[in-house]
Chains A and B, each alone.
Chain A
Amino acid sequence: MKNLKIPAKPTQQLSNCSIAVQQMVAIARAVDMECKILILDEPTSSLDEQEVARLFGLMRDLKERGVGIIFVTHFLDQMYEICDKVTILRGGELVGEYQVSEIPRVELVAKMMGKELGDLAAIHNEAKGIKDENKEPVIEAEGLSSVSGIKPFNFKAYKGEVTGFAGLLGSGRSECVRAIFGADRVTKGKLRIKGEEVAVTSPIKAMKKGIGYLSEDRKRDGIIGDLSVRENIILALQAMRGFFRPFTKAQAEAFADEYVKMLGIKTASLDTPVNSLSGGNQQKVILARWLLTHPEYLILDEPTRGIDIGTKVEIQKLVLKLASEGMSITFISSEIEEMLRTCSRLIVMRDLYVVGELEGEDMTQDKIMYTIAGVSDQNDKEE
């Protein structure tokens, strides 16, 4: 553990640790076997940058000791940083094998997606187009805090606006939106929805007020694994409709069908258990679930984590489209670039406090970093 600098005691229960720590312990276990070849399948998808750097240090170490490492990732930067050789797969087929130093980034992405790249740039432009002209706050939180330990925060979201929460892993981004949604018990503060003060004591109350929440941990809080795609899609709307008013099979089928087509969800059938789908498609199923409820305010907590780049782009586009149709959206991502592309306003968090709000011209990577870092005690805090 010392080798990896895992911030946990060996005697601690693993389930009490953060996902990052759990991930690192899993890696430690693999390293411990002193293998010749180490396969790391998306090891970094829930690690923050420092942790990734630490992991890379270890990987280089192992490499020098003669261990072969196969590194599966969807992070292009990381691949460029650490890998010597890259094998590209698309849709179950081998596209090709290249030396990392010889293949430029654009070409790589193009090969992965099977077409020329232009979408990302387009998104960038669309994002600039959105402004909160219509100053009607859909959501207004005042001094809200919850049992999760976040400090009281203020937050407003307007119609047709995409907001974002930026901050490092564990800075309280998810906790803020969970408090708004009533997922964590609110201890203090007020929440106004369209000017009306409401006590959101449980998710169902929030849902009935027009809030949707796509949760951070897809496996644990999002999908209901053994239920079918259809059931997963209609679940939230069904819960809002009430216990004694189930949808008929035909209705459910129609809803599911509509959204499967709209979002391009790849599934063998609507009866397929959702956990046999790929991560990206699972995420789309949950997205479909919330879109079906037609929320006025939709929270997307890490919707792009652990999914392939193609789906990521699709989701970002969708967010912008929904916002342009008048939905208010909060978009949280660990990839700051993603948020810069989609959000028109960013709430910056550090150590459970809201430390800043950035808008318009201020929204640059440097500025965010600077706000997160505050003074310069960031390193100590995050250890």
Chain B
Amino acid sequence: MTKKNEKAGNDLMKHIKPVIRHRLFIPIVFLIFLLLINIFIKPGFLKIGLGKDINGNPVLIGNIINILNNSTELVILAIGMSFVTACSRGQDISVGSTIAIVGGVVMRVLCGNETQPTELKAPVIVAFILGCLAGMLCGAFNGILVSRFNIQPMVATLILFTAGRSLGSMAMGGLKPKAVASFSYYGNFFPGFPIPTPILITAAVIIITCIAMKKTNLGLYTRAVGINDKSSRLNGIEPSRIKFMSYVIMGLCVGIAGFIQASRVQTVNPYTIVPGIEMDAILAVALGGNSLGGGSLNLPGSIVGAYTIQTLTSMLTTLNVNTNAIPVFKAVIIIVLVAIQTPAVKRLFGRKTQAAKPALGGGKESA
């Protein structure tokens, strides 16, 4: 036996294999690849400079900062969407419309019935909490339809998808108010602090999610229910409760995202706010290597996926790609990215590493 050679080969494999086969490998490699293209075309892409805004407050300026900043909503939604996808084996397509509702509620609370109020009508924290509650209420509505009435997620959320933007407009009383500048801190900068607030909020949401994953069984339960809900029930997990919860979590994510979005320009147009973000959120989940058929929960993947999409969007802007070509451009990149994550292609990649692995022992010799 050439045991020595074999051992050396195995040692090498031991180092490479975990990296290549890691579930975050492809999403991260692709993100780095996109960034490299950007740097190649615009060498100053990674540059972050400390500038001053028009009032003389320090601010960070740079493409990376913009990407981190502008992807906030998408990252938060992708987290919620991952839970929903993992356990209910379907997607919530109402998130964009629900953001319109949240935005409407936030604006109404802050501006009352005036279009150009000179001050905030309520503390921002009240607007934030009410916004989150509105989001969670919408989530609960979707959750009940999915978990109790067993309606397919896409069909169940189609209701709010259709009605949400009108409801948002009704929440605002048909007005288009613009809140005063102090509301803008949450979607932009706090005067004197150079890091955009949304980046901090993203970090906070990610940290809270991490803690929740560590301190609760959310991850295990979500995946168990998504893979086999009958079996989960027989193991003492209530699938309908977990599904319901995932939609409420999604609603909370929508609430936070809607609040930030409203703060960014201090006004909300329910009919046009975050156009198409539901599809981007679903895409982020898919890019992160999660199965859209449920059962897998790769939150870091979804987050990387969200940043990838925003990098792509930003790239298409800075390169001034022709408007008509943008959808084609995006589609091609997405096809490539999704394709290299399919099992068929993965097998091609992993053939060598797998060959070293011994075949699994059957149960026959267990006696």
- Given contact pairs A183-B233, A224-B228, A289-B235, A91 touches B361 in the complex (Cβ within 8 A): yes
Measured CB to CB, the closest approach of chain A to B190, in angstroms, equals 34
CB of A365 within 8 Å of the partner chain: no
Interface members, chain A 197-236 (any B CB < 8 Å): 202-204, 207, 213, 215, 220-227, 231, 235-236
Contact partners of A289 in chain B: CB under 8 A? 235
Interface string of A306-349 (1 = CB under 8 A from B): 01111101100000000000000000000000000000000000
Contact A113 B234 (CB under 8 A): no
| Interface segment out of the listed A79-87, A162-170, A271-279 | A271-279
CB of A268 within 8 Å of the partner chain: yes
Contact A226 B223 (CB under 8 A): yes
Contact partners of A202 in chain B: CB under 8 A? 233, 236, 238
Nearest-CB residue, chain A, relative to B232: A224
Interface members, chain B 215-253 (any A CB < 8 Å): 215-218, 220-221, 223-224, 227-228, 230-238
CB of A240 within 8 Å of the partner chain: yes
In Å, the complex CA distance between A284 and B367 comes to 13
Interface members, chain A 219-263 (any B CB < 8 Å): 220-227, 231, 235-236, 238-240, 243-244, 246
Number of A-B contacts (CB under 8 A): 133
**Residue of B215, B217, B232, B359 with highest tally of chain A CB at under 10 A:** B217
CB of B6 within 8 Å of the partner chain: no
CB of A374 within 8 Å of the partner chain: no
Contact partners of A279 in chain B: CB under 8 A? 363
Measured CB to CB, the closest approach of chain A to B74, in angstroms, equals 27
In Å, the complex CA distance between A92 and B366 comes to 12
Q: Which of B214, B215, B236 meets A240, CB within 8 Å?
A: B236
Q: Which of A222, A235, A307 meets B363, CB within 8 Å?
A: A307
In Å, the complex CA distance between A313 and B214 comes to 40
CB of B343 within 8 Å of the partner chain: no
Q: Which of A203, A236, A239, A314 meets B367, CB within 8 Å?
A: A314
Nearest-CB residue, chain A, relative to B218: A243
Contact B234 A244 (CB under 8 A): no
Contact A204 B236 (CB under 8 A): yes
Interface members, chain B 43-77 (any A CB < 8 Å): none
CB of B142 within 8 Å of the partner chain: no
- Given contact pairs A226-B296, A239-B235, A281 touches B230 in the complex (Cβ within 8 A): no
- Chain B, interface size category, equals 20 to 34
Measured CB to CB, the closest approach of chain B to A3, in angstroms, equals 33
Contact partners of B217 in chain A: CB under 8 A? 238-239, 243-244, 246
Contact B234 A114 (CB under 8 A): no
Contact A266 B366 (CB under 8 A): yes
Nearest-CB residue, chain B, relative to A248: B214
Contact A280 B366 (CB under 8 A): yes
Measured CB to CB, the closest approach of chain A to B339, in angstroms, equals 22
Contact partners of B214 in chain A: CB under 8 A? 246
In Å, the complex CA distance between A183 and B234 comes to 6
CB of A189 within 8 Å of the partner chain: no
Contact A243 B216 (CB under 8 A): yes
Contact B364 A310 (CB under 8 A): yes
Contact A246 B216 (CB under 8 A): yes
Measured CB to CB, the closest approach of chain A to B308, in angstroms, equals 24
Contact A231 B220 (CB under 8 A): yes
Contact partners of B230 in chain A: CB under 8 A? 220-221
CB of A264 within 8 Å of the partner chain: yes
Interface members, chain B 155-209 (any A CB < 8 Å): none
- Given contact pairs A236-B236, A240-B236, A246-B220, A91 touches B231 in the complex (Cβ within 8 A): no
Contact A213 B234 (CB under 8 A): yes
Q: Which of B220, B227, B231, B238 meets A204, CB within 8 Å?
A: B238
Nearest-CB residue, chain B, relative to A90: B364
CB of A147 within 8 Å of the partner chain: no
Contact B231 A280 (CB under 8 A): no
Interface residues, chain A, with chain B CB atoms under 8 Å away: 89-92, 112-115, 181, 183, 202-204, 207, 213, 215, 220-227, 231, 235-236, 238-240, 243-244, 246, 264, 266-268, 272, 276-281, 284, 289, 307-311, 313-314
Report 5 cross-chain contacts, Cβ distance below 8 Å, ordered by A residue: A115-B367, A224-B235, A239-B217, A280-B364, A310-B363
The 9 A-B residue pairs with the shortest CB-CB distance in the complex, in nearest-first order: A310-B367, A280-B363, A239-B236, A91-B365, A204-B236, A278-B363, A266-B361, A281-B363, A207-B236
